[in-house]
Amino acid sequence: MRIGSLFVHNFKNLGELNLTQLSGVNIITGRNASGKTNTLQSIYFLSTLSTQFKTYQQAVRFGADFFSVKAAVESSGSEKTLEVRYGPGRDVKLKQNGNVVAKKSDYIGESRVVNFAFEDIDLVRGSPGERRRALNILISQVNRSYLKSLQKYTAVLSQKNKLLSDAAGKKPDIALLETFNEQLCGAGAEVVQGRKEAAVFLTGAFDLAHRKISLGLEKASLEYKCSFDSAGDIKAAFMEKLKNLLPAEIARGVSLVGPHKDDLIFLINGRDAKYYASDGQQRTLVFSFKLAEYRYMQETVKDDPVILLDDVFYELDAERKAAVLEFLRPMPQMFIVSLDDEWVKKVFPDARSFRISGGALQNAI
Ligand SMILES: Nc1ncnc2c1ncn2[C@@H]1O[C@H](COP(=O)(O)OP(=O)(O)O)[C@@H](O)[C@H]1O
Ligand SMILES: [Mg+2]
């Protein structure tokens, strides 16, 4: 897929930013704090509805009372416009081709992105929640039923947790708890199944990318860790585990097992990379994972996602950088933020360059 044009209104410091005739490779340049990262984030948000900010309100430009991001997207030969708009006290409003889309699950996946950003290092260093979030965002972009199951699971889980914590050690309504568990099993099994399938693909693509980028010097692997034994009948195994843990859950006042406890482990030379990898090695793992994300989306929907790269090359040595660029070169569309746009132009001579200043477009070349 390709984004043909992008119009951003009051998103963070971007007052009115209109980027037209977008190219395969688009360089976003400008001084510090001009709005380069915000430009990429607007594309990321338009596509995934996931945020790097805590509340939608944080993304509304100071002094404004709404933000909107709109793009013309070409995918598998057809064109569409997508729009997301937020005003205070409301949820986001979504549109496709000018028509309101009521459900997020009918919107996510219409534009697909892989985002390479500075904070991605948290994928390796951060908590399991970061890795589950990455998996959820990834799979949801290519699998609507996964997203629906995840939404259902999350909603029931929060009801169940409320019931458990409200009971605070006393006996909660067991019949209601069992109803919640039934629902969690159905939706949860779908989530685990989706993650298992994605993990099979991701581990292979990850291994391939990692061997190339690390020039075969390191052995890394990726392992999906389900919070219960999911080798056989997932739903039955989940139900069994929930039954066994029921007394403990009541005693602790919180739900203890399920896909909200899963993890994805990065191993380097057999050890957990969170503790035993250098900064550069961790960056390499993250790049490899992102490239695997790309392949997974490309393979699953037979269409290439758009790549967003926010100044992420400087921590790689020259050889690793060259290896990453080899992967990127054939990809149909990317947005590259770089303080030093000269080297990007050398690598991608056909790139268009958009210079941002004070949240607005200064010039386009
Ligand atoms: N809601 C907002 N309204 C106005 N400005 C904002 C808002 N949120 C963030 N900013 C500002 O946007 C500026 C540009 O951010 P960013 O895009 O990250 O810069 P850079 O070009 O260095 O990547 C920052 O100075 C930040 O303070
Ligand atoms: Mg930035």
Best mutation site among 9, 13, 68, 310 for ligand 1, i.e. most ligand atoms within 8 A of its Cβ? Answer: 13
Q: Does residue 99's CB lie within 6 angstroms of at least one atom of ligand 1?
A: no
Domains annotated for the chain, with CATH where assigned, are: 1-112+306-365 (3.40.50.300), 127-302 (1.20.1050.90)
Average pLDDT over residues 245-269: 95
253: left (phi over 0), alpha (psi -120 to 50) or beta: left
Predicted confidence (pLDDT) per residue in 24-83, tens digit:
999 999 999 999 999 999 999 999 999 877 889 999 999 999 999 999 999 988 999 999
Pairing outcome for strands 220-225 and 99-101: unpaired
Predicted confidence (pLDDT) per residue in 113-122, tens digit:
999 998 899 9
Task: Please state, in angstroms and rounded to a whole number, the distance separating the CA atoms of residues 202 and 58.
Answer: 33
Cβ neighbors of 179 (< 8 A, separation 6 or more) are none
Task: Please state, in angstroms and rounded to a whole number, the distance separating the CA atoms of residues 135 and 150.
Answer: 11
Task: Please state, in angstroms and rounded to a whole number, the distance separating the CA atoms of residues 237 and 207.
Answer: 29
Q: What is the pTM of this model?
A: 0.95
- Which chain residues have CB less than 5 Å from ligand 2, an ion? 37
Helices marked H in 168-230: 174-213
Instruction: Describe the strand order of the beta sheet including 220-225 as a list of residue ranges.
Output: 220-225, 263-268, 271-272
Predicted confidence (pLDDT) per residue in 269-324, tens digit:
899 999 989 888 999 999 999 999 999 999 999 999 999 999 888 778 888 888 88
Distance 349 CA to ligand 2 centre (A): 23
The pLDDT value given to residue 224: 96
pLDDT band at 129 (very low <50, low <70, confident <90, very high): very high
User: Is the CB of residue 72 less than 8 Å from the CB of residue 81?
Assistant: yes
Predicted confidence (pLDDT) per residue in 181-237, tens digit:
999 999 999 999 999 999 999 999 999 999 999 988 889 999 999 999 999 999 999
The pLDDT value given to residue 319: 87
Report the run of H or E that residue 267 belongs to, with start and end: strand 263-268
pLDDT band at 169 (very low <50, low <70, confident <90, very high): low
User: Is the CB of residue 285 less than 8 Å from the CB of residue 317?
Assistant: no
pLDDT band at 167 (very low <50, low <70, confident <90, very high): confident
Task: Please state, in angstroms and rounded to a whole number, the distance separating the CA atoms of residues 195 and 136.
Answer: 8
Q: Which residues share a beta bridge with 7?
A: 18, 70
Ligand nearest to the CA of 356: 1
Helices marked H in 89-127: 122-125
